[in-house]
Amino acid sequence: METLQTEIYNHDNDVDVTHKINTIELDNWINHLKYIKKELNNLIGLCSEDLDQRLEDESVVQKFQKKETENDTLLRALQKYMNTRSEIIECEDTQCDMAYITEHESYRRSYLYHLDKYRRLKDEFFSKVQGKFTLLNGIS
């Protein structure tokens, strides 16, 4: 692959297209994890403001904090991986290209697993919150 520009051209071969699509996908993952980081920060803040006592479950904040740590770890790994992708231009054979493609698939599985676990945690939280309080607190 000659460059890591993400614009796909008609003259790009299949491997070049795959690398470009993977780069675009990786950039999306990183942006999504940055958003999740902000969301977790908000959820932790929300829970810390007396909500965990209303839920009668003090582990809610701890679960979000653990997920925040996991999110940060994956985000750093993906950012580091993004930096190593600049070496794709050095690939001169199929074996080298396949190593990058295989590595990308591994990161894809990690990202999707993390996302699934995060969504389940949020669903669990919102199920507990639903009905426990109202935003108006009985104000008519």
Give the pLDDT score at 8.
Answer: 82
The arithmetic mean of pLDDT across residues 6-16, rounded, is 84
- Of 9 and 138, which is predicted with more confidence? 9
Give the chain's domain count: 1
Percent composition of the chain: helix, strand, coil (DSSP 3-state, to 5): 80, 0, 20
On whether residue 96 sits in a domain, the answer given is yes
On whether residue 108 sits in a domain, the answer given is yes
Name the residue range of residue 95's domain. Answer: 88-122
pTM for the model stands at 0.84
Is residue 38 very low, low, confident or very high in pLDDT (cuts 50, 70, 90)? very high
Give the pLDDT score at 67.
Answer: 98
On whether residue 58 sits in a domain, the answer given is no
On whether residue 101 sits in a domain, the answer given is yes
In the chain, % of residues over pLDDT 70: 82
On whether residue 93 sits in a domain, the answer given is yes
pLDDT tens column, 57-75: 668 889 999 999 999 999 9
On whether residue 37 sits in a domain, the answer given is no
pLDDT tens column, 91-136: 899 999 999 999 999 999 999 999 999 999 999 888 888 766 655 4
On whether residue 67 sits in a domain, the answer given is no
On whether residue 65 sits in a domain, the answer given is no
